[in-house]
Amino acid sequence: MKVKSRISSIGLFFILAQTMVGVGLLSLPYETNKVADSDGWISILISGVFIQFIVLFLWLLCRKFPNLTLFDFSKVILGSIPGTVINILYIIYFLAIVCYTLIIFTDTLKRWILPETPGWVLVLIGVVLLIYGSVCTIKNIVSLFSFLFLFILFLFIITLLVYRDPTIDIRYIFPIGASGGWNILKSTSDVFISFIGFETLLIYFAFIKQSKHISALKGAFFAVLFVTVFFMYIVIISTMMLSPEEMKITSEPVLYILSAISIHVLSRLDLLILSIWGPVVLMTIISYSFSAGMGISKVLHIKHKIAVVLFGVFVFIISITFYYMEITTLKKWLKQLSLIFGFVIPLILLLITVTFKREATSIYEKN
């Protein structure tokens, strides 16, 4: 079934950037410092370059099936039953991403500003917003994401206030490369989960105008570039603000730094940044939920709105279950699964497509 709505490369930029800048932002400096120390920004740069190559692979696959999402062309490539299995696995993967994001978001809010609020209440609010934001069309998604992109810019502006602090010390990022090449490369595995979101291109490339043309890549490339630079910026300013000893014990350096800074109008910048960070995380949740809703609607042959509601119910049940359990296991799984579903499976599908000359049939493709 061909998609009929169309978005521009700029629209794709907003969607992908908002999807990738998600829940891992606040703890990213701590995660990179655990292995790479002050060279964590180099790990981010390497991960960003690697993901640019993955985006190219995803486009090479999707351009073989213009106007079709992963949930359509998987059946063309593998056949009906194997394709349906792949679709179900991707839906489960999207479900795991949304649950993990929602749990981390809920836990952060409880620890910083809402300690007395039951976790299930915050999860329920997140699920309601998930359903409300995901039942719309792709054009509504673009409009919403374009407007809320301002929140990411606000995050950048607020963190600039860090440079006014006299305790900032640029010497903390030197000498560059001191942690060693192996540790820098090893740290990319911890960084990679913060970049998740690029795999949704398997869905969104189908909506791009002239998806076969190289211009369809511009929005995706610039989105990954923006996220890479933004993450590097956050890690660098955190490294310069906190000593190496402090970085090792501060799980959310961004909030910790801003909690100690005040201006004439606001005394708690950490609370302000949490208020801005909330909608940014919500965009990640909505993007994955919209994609999963499309998959459920095709697998079960139901309307998209009903599929999203069904997805939301599963998100609530699983999030509540894992919220009161150990979430570290889920995080370890996602580190591996993000590479499998974002790179390995699409690469296998591309190789099968090229080797066996799979292409969209006349039923699916008619330009």
Q: Considering the domain boundaries, does residue 360 fall inside one?
A: no
Query: What is the DSSP code string of 273-317?
Result: HHHHHHHHHHHHHHHHHHHHHHHHHHHHT--HHHHHHHHHHHHHH
pLDDT band with cut points at 50, 70 and 90 for residue 225? very high
- CATH code: domain of residue 51: 1.20.1740.10
**Separation of CA 124 from chain center:** 21
| Domain limits for position 74 | 9-355
Q: Considering the domain boundaries, does residue 362 fall inside one?
A: no
Domain count, the chain: 1
In this model, does residue 200 exceed pLDDT 60? Answer: yes
In this model, does residue 349 exceed pLDDT 50? Answer: yes
Confidence (pLDDT) at 119: 87
Q: Considering the domain boundaries, does residue 366 fall inside one?
A: no
Q: Considering the domain boundaries, does residue 261 fall inside one?
A: yes
Q: Considering the domain boundaries, does residue 106 fall inside one?
A: yes
Confidence (pLDDT) at 302: 92
Q: Considering the domain boundaries, does residue 172 fall inside one?
A: yes
More confident residue, 303 or 166: 303
In this model, does residue 362 exceed pLDDT 60? Answer: no
The per-residue pLDDT for range 31-84, each reduced to its tens digit, is 888 888 888 899 899 999 999 999 999 999 998 888 889 999 999 999 889 999
Q: CA–CA separation, 236 vs 32, rounded Å?
A: 11
